[in-house]
Every structure is written in structure tokens, then in C-alpha cells.
Amino acid sequence: MSQLTHAALLASLALAGNASTPSPAGDDPYLWLEEVQGERALTWVKAQNARTEADIAQSPGFASLEADLRAILDSTDKIPAVEKIGEYYYNFWKDAQHPRGVWRRTTLAEYRKPNPQWETVLDLDALNAAEGTQWVWHGADCLRPKYQRCLIALSPGGSDADVTREFDLTSKQFVKDGFYRPEAKGGLAWIDENTVYVYTDFGAGSLTSSGYPRIVKEWKRGTPLSDAKLVYEGRPDDMYIAAMRDHTPGYERDFVSRTLAFYNDELYLRDRDGRLHKIDAPNSAQKNVHRNWLLLELREPYSAGGKTYPAGALIAADFDAFMAGKRDFSVLFMPDEHSSLAGYTWTQDHLVLNVMEDVKNRLMVLTPGKNGWARADFTGAPAMGTLAVSAVDPDTSNAVWLTATDFLTPTTLSWAEIGKTPEKLKSNPVFFDGSRHVIEQHFATSKDGTRVPYFLVRPKNLAFDGRAPTLLYGYGGFEIALTPSYSGIIGKAWLEKGGVYVLANIRGGGEYGPRWHQAALKANRHKAYEDFAAIADDLVARKITSPRHQGAMGGSNGGLLMGNMLTQYPDKFGAIVIQVPLLDMKRYSHLLAGASWMAEYGDPDSADWDFIRTFSPYHLFDPAKTYPPVLLLTSTKDDRVHPGHARKMMAKLVAAGKDAHYYENIEGGHGGAADNAQAAHMSALAYTFLWQRLAQ
């Protein structure tokens, strides 16, 4: 890959991990529910699932809704997102005929047609039938410039742990005796056609305390994995060690990355002799090397070359000059109170910036030249909606894929040559009638006076009598921004029925860059929850809804948010859905990858517990209190957030006689579902539960 950044790695690892040694749990009576595959625990799970199926899945209208949602997920008219690999455009596709998916390819000329002809490269359902497995697709890395061999990652049942197998694009077969990495957290990365970097579980002591690779090696074809040569060994308390080669023609370089924690990493240039040279940039900065440029996306102020650059800025320097000791930077983006950098992508000659201004996107084109960086607006970009751009082929082309979407407008995909009017290629079908709704943006005032934005989708003829069933969704963590997007599921299951949908842009997220995220870290975590509660209050003040008719939903870190809404703000909601949640904040750092999240929440085995206990739902629960109805959803195969969090919280709710339901999918990993049928079922459970409770 030509863009080397930790952003993609961090996004894939957010609340992710592997098993580690548990700590003593004191007098926790439900510790046995942490035995993921324990017979007693699974018997309990099956009993809870059966009650939820009987109470919700057997209710009137459920089967019809589930069928509608399955039809949306299986629709053959959806945009087939593609990646250019050599001369072909590849797509991974799931529908009713291909529940686990098919990897396929076509030409650009075909792709431009309304109904392109596809050539099947790998049919995952056929592979599963032949091998008696239940593989879930995790992606493919194909070796430039020939694009003949690929490293394909496959997960058993959807867990983060996966295997890597070498695949031949010409024969469309797995390579006999090719590179193979056994099931573990980690991966392979091409060096050349006969050599790879391997970072995985090499046995005792080879993983970090978070359960990720601590060692990276160079592995030659035809030799046993045990003979691979050590490249770098991290510390046990690091988070993730990896290596990769940048295959950009004329700029081939090797790098080793040492991730200590989220937004805390070191990047090393590896020379031909195997020596490592540290890129002396702040650990907190996201580092990107592309051709002759080093880009730093700053998360803290950085002083260099006699100048100081603020957090949130994007700065660029000549990479070779930087490695030689020079510190001459150009400022490519400077944040302000209302704006932040949402992302960027390189084309052959340009850098496209995606800037968010009060959670609305604006695109800019920067072009390096002898006299610095020229700036221009992105030609033809839509004025409204959420925008995203990605390069088609940064080695040979100035074209980008441009997507545009909002809550009520189906997503469109365009081919955009820089400086030319975009060519619309594809559009998602209309899955629900959005003509009766309107989108608004409002700001609520949080407890400390901070203005917190949120998006509101409501019927045009809303009565403003406080009775509208309203669903408030949030996340608020790991600098992840929530933006408007078209969802057939939300549209069909909620909006089309007359419900109001609200997307909260609370602190902890990335809507205003690093400052928005850092404002809710550790001891300040409560600010994210105060923001969410303030939005709930604002909706009531506007007479859109009332506590009886207001629901909330969130997953993963958003599940922790929901747990705190349940235990700290129960009077503000009529029902809450908690998905794949983090809830036991005393045990979290010893369950799966918890150690890798301590930069976000703190260390519960230290004095940090004094503030962590104030947002640990499992410990805040009071059986004497009144709580709104709650539905907990999780997955047995989730090896990011341990299903024990949801299991143990449900056990407390049941013991206290609360109105609570629970459903644990057997497959699916952290996403909850491994195929469209499972996804439709779990979504139907959530929306049926909410509508039953809030529309009364």
C-alpha cells in the first residue's frame, strides 16, 4: 500500500482483542458466565434466547419486518463497491444466493453498465461446502505489480482471529503449499513474491498483554514458519507489532510499526540491511509516507523547525529531508473551533482533503509544486450530505471514487477525475419512503456549557406534542465520528412507521478532531454521557418526544454509553438497546483486549478505579432502582468485547426482576452477525422491541 498510516489499523482494532489471563473478580457471583463456551453458561444463554424469541420474535409483525430487512440486505440492486487490482475491479458481494459471499471481478467498461457482468474469483459458500467450514471474509492483499498472488484472510465464524492463505488470481485457486498462517490475531504482508512479513501467535510469550502480535518476522517461501527471521520484537505491554512494504513504483520502502496504545505509536524505516531507523515524529501523530512526502496528522501541539503546530493540523515535509534531520513543514490543514480533518487521499498528482465543518463535509484539492501547495475546491462535489473520497489508483490515475449520502437520499457513487465534473455511476435503490421526513441539525447545551451537535430526522407533519417514538443513537469514543448516511434498515424499521431518528455527535468521538475525543478521556468520561443526556433533554424541550417515548441504542463503546444511560439516566428513556457492550469496567482490562483500551478508559487495577467506577454500569446497577426496559444483544464469537459483559449484566437484571431481554448470536464476531439472515434477525429484534415499548 502506498499510504502508510495507523488510522486503518486503529479503526480495525477499536475495542478489539484476544484472551488474556483474568484477574481475581472478588465476590462477583456471575463470573461463571465469562466461560464463553462453558456448558453451564451456554445453557443459560439458550434459555435467555428462547425467552426473547418467544416474547419478541413471535410477536405480530415481527416476521414481516424481518423479511423486509432481509430483502434490503440481500438486494441485488445495491452499489457493488469495488477495488482496482491490476486491470480488474474487484467486489465482495453477499445476497440470498451467496449468504457468505462471493469475491468477483469485472472491467471498468462493464462496471459502468447498469448490470455489469461479473467473473467469480472465489465463492465462499462453495468453499465452505467443500471444506465443511463456516469461513467469513476478512479481505485480500494482492502483490503489485503483477497482481497474480494474493494473501486472503478468512475468519471462522466472524471472529477477529483468522487464517491467511495464498491465492492465485490466474488459476483462481489456493496455492498448494503456499504461504499459510494458522488461526490467530495478526497477518501476513507481501515483501516480494517469495517473501512475506508475518506477525502472529508464534507460541508462548509471543503476544502482547492485549493478545496481539508482539513479534514480526521475515518468512521465505518453502521454509517452515519456525525458521522465519526475527525483524522486530516489542514489549509485552505494547499493543500491536507489524511490518509492511510500500510497493509504490520508485519509492519501495519497508516499515515496522510499534503500536503502544491507541493513538500512540512508533514507525521505523527498515533499510536493506535490516536496520531500523525511527521516524522521529510524535507518537501521538498519525504518520503517512507517500512517495517523497511525510504527512503528520497531529493530535497534540508539535514544535519543530522553530514553529509550533496545533493539535488537529495536517503538516507535510520531504521524507528524505526529514530523515536527514531537517524540519521544514508545509501546513496543509489548520483546524478551528468549527472544523476538523475527516480524512485525505492521494491520487497520482494531488492530495484530496475531506474537512468537516460542524459535522458537514467539504472537499479540497491540494497539489504540490515548486512553489508550494496549490489549493482548489473539488469540482462538482455535492453541497450537502456526507461525502467520502478514495483513490482509484494512486500510482497511475487522478480519479477518485466519490460517495454522497444522507439519511433520506440513497447513496450515490461517482467516478471523479480531479478538476472535472464527476460521473455518476451507481446509486442505491430507494428502500423506504423518505419524502415525508425532513433532516435537521440542532445543538444541545451539555452540563458544562459545551454546545453538542446532533442530527434529527422527523416527519414533516410532526405534531410536536411530545409523543413521537424517538430513537437516539450514539457512540462517543476512540475519535470515531458519526455522520448522516442512508440506511434502508433504519428507514424501513423506524422512519417509515413514523418514528423520529436522532444521531448524537457527543464528545469522545472525532466530529471536531482530537480535542473532541480528548475532552472525554478517562476521568472526563462522564462528559460524553452528559452530552448524550443533554440531547435527550433537548428533544423533550422541543416537544419532539418525552421520556416515555424516547429510546436509545448503541454498540461496543456505544454499548458502554447505553449502560450508563440505563444506570445513571434511567428516567430519560422508555427503552434501551445495548449491543455487544462493554459493561464491567473493573474486569474489562483482563477480558480479551481490554489492556489496549486503557488509554481511553484508564487502568482499573490502579488509582484510576476511583473514577472508572463512576462509569462502570455493572457496578452502578442498583436492584432497588427502577430502570426502563432493556434488550441486550451480543455474540458468542465476539473476540473483541467479551460476551461476558452482556451476560453478567443480564444476570443482574434478571435477579432483580427487571424488564430485560437478551439475545446472543452464536456467530458473527463483534459485528454481531455473520450473514444477512443473522443481521436481519437481530435488527428485527431490536426495532420490534423498541417500537413495542415506545409507540404505546
- Give the DSSP per-residue string, 375-402: EEEPTT--SSSEEEEEES-TTT--EEEE
In a domain, 323, yes or no: no
Same domain flag for 437 and 417: no
Same domain flag for 689 and 594: yes
Domains of the chain: total: 2
In a domain, 559, yes or no: yes
Q: pLDDT class for 666, splitting at 50, 70, 90?
A: confident
Beta strands in 505-556 (DSSP E): 550-555
Same domain flag for 622 and 488: yes
Same domain flag for 580 and 461: yes
Of the residues 366, 393, 428, the one at which a domain ends: 428
Q: pLDDT class for 169, splitting at 50, 70, 90?
A: very high
In a domain, 190, yes or no: no
Same domain flag for 479 and 413: no
Query: Sheet harboring 399-405: ordered strands across?
Result: 386-391, 399-405, 412-417, 423-427
CA angle 239, 243, 246 (to 5 degrees): 135
Same domain flag for 527 and 626: yes
**What confidence score (pLDDT) does residue 674 get?**
61
Same domain flag for 589 and 647: yes
Provide the annotated active-site residues: 556, 670
Q: pLDDT class for 683, splitting at 50, 70, 90?
A: very high
Kindly tell me if the per-residue pLDDT of 12 is higher than 50: no
- The mean pLDDT of 512-530, rounded to a whole number, is 97
**What confidence score (pLDDT) does residue 596 get?**
84
Same domain flag for 464 and 414: no
- The mean pLDDT of 668-678, rounded to a whole number, is 67
Give helix 644-655 / helix 39-52 axis angle, nearest 10°. 70
Give the three cell numbers for residue 124.
Answer: 465462499
Q: What are phi and psi of 338, to 5 degrees?
A: -110, -5
**What confidence score (pLDDT) does residue 314 get?**
98
Q: Which residue has the cell 487464517?
A: 163
Kindly tell me if the per-residue pLDDT of 5 is higher than 50: no
**What confidence score (pLDDT) does residue 7 get?**
44
Give the HSE-up count for residue 666: Cα atoms under 13 Å, Cβ half-sphere.
7
Tell me the average pLDDT of the chain: 93
- The mean pLDDT of 676-694, rounded to a whole number, is 95
Of the residues 406, 428, 450, the one at which a domain ends: 428
Virtual torsion, Cα 127, 133, 138, 144, nearest 10 deg: -40
pLDDT tens digit sequence for 322-368 = 999 999 999 999 999 999 999 999 999 999 999 999 999 999 999 99
CATH of the domain at 44: 3.40.50.1820
Same domain flag for 362 and 458: no
Give the three cell numbers for residue 639.
Answer: 473476540
Q: Which residue has the cell 439516566?
A: 569
Predicted structure pTM score: 0.91
- 638 exposed, middle or buried (CB, 10 Å; 0-12, 13-18, 19+)? buried
Q: pLDDT class for 20, splitting at 50, 70, 90?
A: very low
In a domain, 490, yes or no: yes
In a domain, 220, yes or no: no
In a domain, 446, yes or no: yes
**Hey, is 426 helix, strand or coil?**
strand
**What confidence score (pLDDT) does residue 15 get?**
46
Kindly tell me if the per-residue pLDDT of 9 is higher than 50: no
According to DSSP, residue 134 is labeled -
**What confidence score (pLDDT) does residue 13 get?**
45
| Whole-Å CA distances, 373 to 330, 340, 342, 364, 479 | 8, 19, 19, 12, 28
Same domain flag for 380 and 514: no
Same domain flag for 549 and 422: no
CA separation for the pair 151, 128 (Å, rounded): 18
What's the domain range around 506?
Answer: 14-70+431-694
In a domain, 541, yes or no: yes
Of the residues 394, 428, 462, the one at which a domain ends: 428
Q: pLDDT class for 24, splitting at 50, 70, 90?
A: very low
Same domain flag for 378 and 401: yes
**What confidence score (pLDDT) does residue 23 get?**
42
CA separation for the pair 648, 16 (Å, rounded): 20
In a domain, 195, yes or no: no
